[in-house]
């Protein structure tokens, strides 16, 4: 078992991220040790409930089962979770427990942060993407017709409890979407300013076969490295004023791909990998990096055999990138590599990118 403690200024106390691979039936006790009030509501993904509901042992507890898919992360379901909490008369001392992927964590976290101005929240991420990214750092939210995650809050949980056994039932594509974010951490590692030298690119190169085979120890070590990097960033900049922006590496172009294909054709991780490749190409074009670093990055990315995404018309991509919530009116912001595992923020005009 690995414990990483998160110390964020806005939180009243440090909280742990626990990474374990014990039997799923032993998890309930651990989860409830952080739900110290009288009552709790479990928000759980439909798929996870089907596969692990019995083993988890929350059968006779108050449970809100959320259907799977990004479209469920909406205002209607948010309201339904709150109504359930009101019917149960949850008090501020009680807890909301999220068991599932990013959608469940985001919507339940937002409900927890707003119900009575905030009740205890415990995250149990069950996808690789949620383990390495969305469950860490306190971003919560729901989607609107105007865009994804446009309503939300920064709200830190009481604990994040990761059990790598949940990953065994992820299909290949779902698993690899998480690996897309893993690869991102490899290329931003030094900029994360983590005290420990973790060398994620080496770890990937030496362990990629075991990672793809879902070897429990390799997964535990991989998740631990990624979380240490993310925690290092969010402890220094919880609200994305500055350093946290580096976590958007690959996301400017990646989000445009997702929008262009209506969030249907590619997974988030696949789009982010394409965005990372775009960022490397742009960095070469702007003389920010040596071509050999780009070749090195290509080799690391190839280890996971991601789905290949074609180049879409740059004019269309630029238009979409300009509409991103992180863009300002005249410039498109990119996080680009400038040296091995070091990235910086750059702003380009539409013209810069087209010609």
**Interface positions with ligand GLY (CB under 6 A):** 133, 137, 139, 240, 244, 247
Q: Check 248, 259, 270, 274 and give the catalytic one.
A: 248
CB of 35 to ligand GLY, least distance (A): 24
| Alpha-carbon span 306 to 145, nearest angstrom | 30
Closer of 165 and 248 to ligand GLY (Cβ)? 248
Closer of 135 and 163 to ligand GLY (Cβ)? 135
CB of 193 to ligand GLY, least distance (A): 15
* Contact (CB, 8 A) for 166 and 318: no
Q: Has 236 been annotated as catalytic?
A: no
Closer of 63 and 73 to ligand GLY (Cβ)? 73
CB of 248 to ligand GLY, least distance (A): 7
| Alpha-carbon span 223 to 122, nearest angstrom | 18
Q: Has 76 been annotated as catalytic?
A: no
- What tokens does 58 get? 């929350």
**Burial class of residue 180 (count of CB atoms within 10 Å of its CB; 0-12, 13-18, 19+):** buried
Q: Check 230, 245, 259, 274 and give the catalytic one.
A: 230
Q: Check 29, 76, 117, 264 and give the catalytic one.
A: 117
| Alpha-carbon span 102 to 174, nearest angstrom | 12
**Beta bridge partners of residue 342, listed in sequence order:** 339
CB of 139 to ligand GLY, least distance (A): 5
Q: Residue number with the shortest CB distance to ligand GLY?
A: 247
Q: Check 47, 120, 251, 274 and give the catalytic one.
A: 251
CB of 247 to ligand GLY, least distance (A): 4
Q: Has 240 been annotated as catalytic?
A: yes
CA-nearest of 178, 183, 154, 158 to 166 is 178
Q: Has 230 been annotated as catalytic?
A: yes
| Secondary structure class of 317 (helix, strand, coil) | helix
Closer of 133 and 189 to ligand GLY (Cβ)? 133
**Burial class of residue 1 (count of CB atoms within 10 Å of its CB; 0-12, 13-18, 19+):** exposed
Closer of 34 and 154 to ligand GLY (Cβ)? 154
Residue with the two structure tokens 């446009």: 150
Q: Has 181 been annotated as catalytic?
A: yes
**Beta bridge partners of residue 41, listed in sequence order:** 96
Q: Has 255 been annotated as catalytic?
A: yes
* Contact (CB, 8 A) for 76 and 111: no
**Beta bridge partners of residue 22, listed in sequence order:** none
Catalytic residues: 117, 139, 181, 230, 240, 244, 248, 251, 255, 268
């Amino acid at each position: 078992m690995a414990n990483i403690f998160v110390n964020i200024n806005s939180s009243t106390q440090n909280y742990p991220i626990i990474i374990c691979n014990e039997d799923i039936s032993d998890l309930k006790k651990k989860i409830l040790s952080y739900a110290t009030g009288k009552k709790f509501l479990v928000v759980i993904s439909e798929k996870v409930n089907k596969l692990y509901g019995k083993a988890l042992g929350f059968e006779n507890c108050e449970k809100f089962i959320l259907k799977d898919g990004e479209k469920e992360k909406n205002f209607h379901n948010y309201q339904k979770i709150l109504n359930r909490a009101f019917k149960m008369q949850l008090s501020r001392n009680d807890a909301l427990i999220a068991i599932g992927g990013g959608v469940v964590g985001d919507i339940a976290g937002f409900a927890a942060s707003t119900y009575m101005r905030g009740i205890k929240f415990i995250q149990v991420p069950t996808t690789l993407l949620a383990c390495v990214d969305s469950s860490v750092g306190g971003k919560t939210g729901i989607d609107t017709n105007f865009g994804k995650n446009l309503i939300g809050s920064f709200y830190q949980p009481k604990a994040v409890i990761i059990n790598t056994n949940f990953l065994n039932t992820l299909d290949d594509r779902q698993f690899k979407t998480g690996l897309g974010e893993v690869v991102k951490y490899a290329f931003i590692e030094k900029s994360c300013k983590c005290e420990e030298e973790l060398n994620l690119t080496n770890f990937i190169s030496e362990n990629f076969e075991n990672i793809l085979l879902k070897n429990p120890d390799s997964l535990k070590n991989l998740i631990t490295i990624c979380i240490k990097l993310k925690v290092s960033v969010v402890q220094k900049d919880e609200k994305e004023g500055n350093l946290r922006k580096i976590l958007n590496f690959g996301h400017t172009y990646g989000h445009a791909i997702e929008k262009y294909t209506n969030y249907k054709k590619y997974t988030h991780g696949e789009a982010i990998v394409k965005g990372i490749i775009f960022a490397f190409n742009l960095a070469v074009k702007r003389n920010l990096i040596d071509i050999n670093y780009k070749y090195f990055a290509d080799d690391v990315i190839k280890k996971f055999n991601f789905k290949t995404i074609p180049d879409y018309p740059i004019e269309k991509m630029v238009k979409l990138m300009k509409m991103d919530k992180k863009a300002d009116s005249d410039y498109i912001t990119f996080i680009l590599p400038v040296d091995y595992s070091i990235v910086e923020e750059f702003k380009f005009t539409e013209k810069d990118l087209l010609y």
